[in-house]
Amino acid sequence: MKKLISLCLAAILSISVCGCSPSVKTDLTQATDTGTATAASSESETSLATNLTAATESSKPAVISYKDASLPVADRVKDLLSQMTLEEKAGQMVQGVIGTATDADVTSLGLGSILSGGGAHPGDNSIEAWQDLVKNYQEAAMETRLQIPFIYGIDSVHGHNTVYGAVIFPQNIGLGAANDPELMYQMGAAVAEEMKLTHTLWNFSPCVAVVQDPRWGRSYESFSSDPAIVSALASGYIKGQADHGILSTAKHYAGDGGTLYGTGEGSNLIDRGDVQISAEDFEKIHLAPYKALVDSGLRVVMASFSSYEGTKMTENKYYLTDVLKGEYGFTGFVVSDWEATAGLSESAFADQIAAAVNAGIDMFMEPYKYSAAVQAIIDGVNSGAIPQERVDDAVSRILTVKFEMGLFEDPYMENLKTEQTELGCDEYRLLAKTLVEESLVLLKNDDDVLPLKSGQKIYVTGPAMGDIGVQCGGWTMTWQGLTDEDNGGRKITEGTTILEGLEEYADKIGFEIITDPARASEADAVILAIGEKPYAEFEGDSEDLSLEGNLGLNGNSDAIAEAKNLGIPVIALIVAGREVDIDGYMDDWSAAVMCFLPGTEGDGVAAVLSGESPFTGKLPMPWYKDVSQIGTDNPDLLFELGYGLTY
């Protein structure tokens, strides 16, 4: 029996030097010492065997407290963090991209997240394909030693806009014109429910930029130039998302909407540029929404590509750590933007990662260099370039959010409650239509040419009249977006065009829609639907905001001239992501309506033009007469912030 005991002790000792975690090794050493002492004191062989069995059982890591859902989140985080190696911590801090990061990468590197780039989707872009994709990645995460769930991130910025058939809501600038926080809550909830169908629970939205210059290619991603409007609408949206189980992200921290024209990164005109205003104004305008959202429970912030006074926000320790996490008390985590480290002041990738970690970045969106990013964090800690405490803080923040979301209890989302079984339900389309109606701004209405009246004949022309892609703009199905014309004449996704909406309301109200140019002379009035091509980010930076320039729709010029030459009242519909240059046309138009980018429910436009719903939208930012007035002390405005006529 004593020989058997000795063999058991030897076996336990051999286990302790063959790859167990440090905490397990310590437990085993203590157990061995206890067992030796017991043998030396000549206790019974039975007692010694019992102690050895208990020691062996206590060394098993199967029952770990971080898996106990009854414990406070802080305790679970502390316990899990104490068991993680540096390599496991570094993995949690990095996010790879679909199509490059494999299931095997998730397992071997312990990646904390996977994302979709703009428009990236699995297989046939069906709900089933998405669920299978997420499941496969999660199975890979569950193959890791500690079984820490991964989370999938996606830009669902005006609906679940990467997935075919989802409801596409108006872009943020139109939502700012509607300025309805209650409907924003409902929209957040609706988008959340559609996201849950695909098991993609982390949304890189809303953008809370406070846009100051409409030449910026991301103007339509901003709710308003007024930080109070931005704060109120973003708060409603995030609460709707959170109440329906989706993790939202406020972006891009901070000042992305206030960059100075001509300072854009690389060849960009303004995007990713530099903010050059006083610290007081920076806080009052651009930080205000973040302060409000942190106070209401915001859990994720995305750092901006842009700079403040020459320092990139991704490496700006003062604003990321001292202000956001310190002064504002933000307890969630900060994620970098797409390969944002490449634009930092350091030249070597490892130094860029170290600078960003030390500044306060907790998770890195490194779609292609995810493996190198993990290694850079490990090497940085080992060399002393990155403090271990900073890594522990970052990982604690990430784990806290994952625990709060319930991912550890239901990693495969088998118990996920959803209100819908398919995308694009009538309820959500009606909500989107209502937001379209509220977002329209009546700029001019001479002789009460609107609303359209029974018995009228209306000629409809222009490249924006029958194109879902034009209505939706960028970040729809693809990063840059695309027109139906570019899509082979097929709708880019399901929805109702403005023309289809007008034809529907013609039957309701009793007017006639004419689209044949040969019959245009019969019409009492013409609806001219013009606008911008879809674009995103720096691709939308504009020198002149011209409707007939390189960002204007093909066919704008011909349609504008055709409408003018008809000699009848012209009702102009402007389908664009910002206040484009229209001063030279206004005298030729009897009525003008700013539609912004209404999304898939174009019948909302028809509902207001026909008088079924009223005009209530107000301009969410000033409308400059021309670009020379932007940024001047006393600009000559075409329309002021808050302008909007009613019937």
Q: What is the CATH number of the domain that holds 543?
A: 3.40.50.1700
- Which pLDDT score is estimated for 551? 98
Whether residue 232 lies inside any domain: the answer is no
Same domain, yes or no: 498 and 350: no
Summarize pLDDT for 171-215 with one digit per residue, the tens.
999 999 999 999 999 999 999 999 999 999 999 999 999 999 999
Active site residue 447: no
* Alpha carbon separation from 340 to 112, 264, 307, 361 (Å, rounded): 18, 14, 12, 11
Same domain, yes or no: 539 and 572: yes
The whole-chain average pLDDT of the chain stands at 92
* Alpha carbon separation from 476 to 166, 503, 573 (Å, rounded): 10, 25, 21
Whether residue 175 lies inside any domain: the answer is no
Same domain, yes or no: 105 and 130: yes
Among the listed residues 537, 562, 581, 601, the single catalytic one is 537
Active site residue 422: no
- Give the domain extent around 557: 429-639
- Which pLDDT score is estimated for 105? 98
Amino acid, res. 593: V
Same domain, yes or no: 17 and 109: no
Phi, psi of 7 (to 5 degrees): -65, -40
* Alpha carbon separation from 528 to 42, 48, 171, 414, 515 (Å, rounded): 100, 92, 21, 50, 11
Whether residue 459 lies inside any domain: the answer is yes
Phi, psi of 183 (to 5 degrees): -70, -30
Region 319-340 average pLDDT: 98
- Which pLDDT score is estimated for 63? 52
Same domain, yes or no: 414 and 461: no
The answer, yes or no, to whether residue 217 has pLDDT greater than 50, is yes
Whether residue 199 lies inside any domain: the answer is no
Summarize pLDDT for 490-507 with one digit per residue, the tens.
999 999 999 999 999 999
Confidence category of residue 66, pLDDT binned at 50, 70, 90: very high
Q: Secondary structure of the chain: what % helix, strand, coil (to 5)?
A: 45, 15, 45
Summarize pLDDT for 564-618 with one digit per residue, the tens.
999 999 999 999 999 999 999 999 999 999 999 999 999 999 999 999 999 999 9
Amino acid, res. 76: R
Summarize pLDDT for 330-377 with one digit per residue, the tens.
999 999 999 999 999 999 999 999 999 999 999 999 999 999 999 999
* Alpha carbon separation from 43 to 12, 27, 34, 190, 507 (Å, rounded): 20, 22, 12, 68, 97
User: Are 141 and 150 a contacting pair, CB within 8 Å?
Assistant: yes
- Which pLDDT score is estimated for 13? 33
Whether residue 626 lies inside any domain: the answer is yes
Same domain, yes or no: 343 and 460: no
Neighbours of 625 (CB within 10 A): 16
Residue from 322, 256, 177, 189 nearest 643 by CA: 177
The answer, yes or no, to whether residue 645 has pLDDT greater than 90, is yes
Same domain, yes or no: 361 and 473: no
- Residue 317 tokens read as 């320790």
Whether residue 171 lies inside any domain: the answer is no
Whether residue 198 lies inside any domain: the answer is no
CB burial class (10 A; 0-12, 13-18, 19+) of residue 544? middle
Same domain, yes or no: 494 and 599: yes
- Which pLDDT score is estimated for 64? 61
Strands 512-514 and 457-461: parallel
User: Using CA of residue 150, residue 156, residue 159, residue 163, what is the dihedral sign?
Assistant: negative
User: Are 205 and 248 a contacting pair, CB within 8 Å?
Assistant: yes
The H-or-E segment that residue 528 falls in is strand 525-531
pTM, to two decimals: 0.90
Among 375, 395, 419, which residue terminates a domain?
419
Among the listed residues 337, 438, 562, 603, the single catalytic one is 337
Among 386, 419, 452, which residue terminates a domain?
419
Same domain, yes or no: 458 and 547: yes
Please give the tally of structural domains in the chain.
3
Among 371, 394, 419, which residue terminates a domain?
419
Phi, psi of 62 (to 5 degrees): -65, -40
Summarize pLDDT for 439-477 with one digit per residue, the tens.
999 999 999 999 999 999 999 999 999 999 999 999 999
Whether residue 360 lies inside any domain: the answer is yes
- The Cα–Cα gap between 423 and 494 comes to 10
What is the four-CA torsion angle of 137, 140, 144, 147, rounded to 10 degrees?
Answer: 50
Same domain, yes or no: 361 and 489: no
Summarize pLDDT for 519-541 with one digit per residue, the tens.
999 999 999 999 999 999 999 99
Same domain, yes or no: 348 and 486: no
Region 401-418 average pLDDT: 97
Confidence category of residue 51, pLDDT binned at 50, 70, 90: very low
- Which pLDDT score is estimated for 52? 31
CB-based contacts of 12, cutoff 8 Å, min separation 6: 28, 31, 32, 52, 55, 56, 59
Same domain, yes or no: 630 and 487: yes
The answer, yes or no, to whether residue 53 has pLDDT greater than 60, is no
The answer, yes or no, to whether residue 50 has pLDDT greater than 80, is no
Summarize pLDDT for 255-304 with one digit per residue, the tens.
999 999 999 999 999 999 999 999 999 999 999 999 999 999 999 999 99
Confidence category of residue 9, pLDDT binned at 50, 70, 90: very low
